[in-house]
Amino acid sequence: MSELNNTVLKILGNGKGILAADESTATMTKRLESVDVPSTPENRLLFRETLFSSSSMKDCIGGVILYDETIKQTSSKKNTIPKLISDTGSLPGIKVDTGAKILAGSPDEKITEGLDGLRERLKEYYKLGAKFTKWRGVYNITKNYPSKLSIHSNAHALARYSALVQECNMVPIVEPEVLMDGDHSAKECSEKTSEVIKRCFEELIIHKVDLKGIILKPNMILAGDKSKEKITNEEVAKLTLECLKSSVPSEVPGIAFLSGGQSEIESTENLNLISKHNNTGFIMSYSYGRALQQGALKFWSKDIKDIEGTQQIFNHRAKMNTLAAQGKWSKDLEI
């Protein structure tokens, strides 16, 4: 087994998933301000350190995606943050894209940037302890979008990024996110997601990326948030499995979903059904940001010194999602 494949299995094996704590400072500021906590480097660290020192890290969280600020911070016990994470048995990872910018030629769409100087930045992150990385491409569904240009250019960037990451002995998370914003149907979401993912794999193969050493981080197949169509969780699972089975090459070891604005329970319930009916051969798990942190953040904001209470909320969510990744979750386990 290759070293990169081994890293993937360490992150996603035994129902473990990924905590996406890689919000940029601007996004984290929005999250903190929404619960009336000032966004200082100390507060951002305190919340994140609270999660990273939770007991569920050992059995549930196989990897944590960090942001540049956090990977360079030191914990209250004077450990580096990557060391704090690896001491729990989890692996530290890092977001390396520099954000989605307006796409020249199609100004309503976005292209993710960050390739310039990436090889040097990767070496630095590797030295700081990172074992895997993340890059997110983002696509909107409307009548005319995502355009061929956006599908092609984001796939190209994801492939160049992945090749550089593997060259530096880390596992790239390949995240093409088709947003749920809009009034599109689940069928449209499935068609567009399939087109986006297939194009990504064409480019990954051209760029000689070892598919056994990546993690795909896709959206689930959902109707748009403004769509009148209401589909059941069973249908979400069925459509998601069909879409991924037909667009992801079988060499890929693992798929870890983003939550994308679904509620905590919804994203757990959908993952549970996906795992229960999983006939794809891929490990299916989670790489959630909001769906793992929302409840904990809300609780913490009432008393930022209540570490234990915050950890209890986070531990519960992590445990529920790890059960869901094994198809063993049920609603009556929720508190």
Q: Any idea which residues carry the catalytic annotation?
A: 217
- Count of CB atoms within 10 A of residue 305's CB? 10
DSSP 218: P
Which single residue is written with the structure tokens 């679904």? 262
CB of 64 to ligand 13P, least distance (A): 11
262 or 278: CB nearest ligand 13P: 262
Distance CA 278, CA 280 (A): 6
Q: Decide: is 110 part of the binding site for ligand 13P (CB under 6 A).
A: no
Residue nearest to ligand 13P (CB): 289
CB of 1 to ligand 13P, least distance (A): 27
Q: Is 321 helix (H, G, I), strand (E, B) or coil?
A: helix
Q: Decide: is 82 part of the binding site for ligand 13P (CB under 6 A).
A: no
Chain-centre distance for alpha carbon 225: 20
Among 327, 221, 322, CA closest to 272: 327
Query: Count residues contacting ligand 13P (CB under 6 A)?
Result: 10
Distance CA 52, CA 31 (A): 18
Among 31, 136, 192, 317, interactor with ligand 13P by CB under 6 A: 136
CB of 260 to ligand 13P, least distance (A): 4
Q: Decide: is 259 part of the binding site for ligand 13P (CB under 6 A).
A: yes
Q: Decide: is 314 part of the binding site for ligand 13P (CB under 6 A).
A: no
Angle at 155 between CA 153 and CA 156, to 5 degrees: 65
CB of 67 to ligand 13P, least distance (A): 10
Among 106, 114, 172, 163, CA closest to 139: 106
CB of 76 to ligand 13P, least distance (A): 25
39 or 79: CB nearest ligand 13P: 39
Q: Decide: is 317 part of the binding site for ligand 13P (CB under 6 A).
A: no
| Per-residue interface string for the shown chain with ligand 13P, residues 285-304, x marking contact by CB under 6 A | ---xxxx-------------
Q: Decide: is 94 part of the binding site for ligand 13P (CB under 6 A).
A: no
Among 150, 134, 147, CA closest to 98: 134
By CB under 6 A, the residues from 147 to 186 that bind ligand 13P are 175
- Enter the tokens of residue 199: 């194009």
* Neighbour-count burial of 1, counting CB atoms closer than 10 A to its CB (0-12 exposed, 13-18 middle, 19+ buried): exposed
Q: Decide: is 92 part of the binding site for ligand 13P (CB under 6 A).
A: no
User: Hey, which residues does 177 pair with through a beta bridge?
Assistant: 138
Distance CA 265, CA 27 (A): 22
Which single residue is written with the structure tokens 């984290």? 28
| Per-residue interface string for the shown chain with ligand 13P, residues 215-254, x marking contact by CB under 6 A | ----------------------------------------
Binding segment toward ligand 13P, per CB under 6 A, in 100-108, 118-126, 190-198, 282-290: 282-290
Which amino acid appears at position 10 of this protein?
K
CB of 66 to ligand 13P, least distance (A): 11
Q: Decide: is 20 part of the binding site for ligand 13P (CB under 6 A).
A: yes
Distance CA 52, CA 236 (A): 31
Distance CA 261, CA 264 (A): 9
253 or 289: CB nearest ligand 13P: 289
CB of 78 to ligand 13P, least distance (A): 28
**By the 8 A CB rule, do 138 and 110 touch?**
yes
Chain residues in the site for ligand 13P (CB under 6 A):
20, 136, 175, 258-260, 288-291
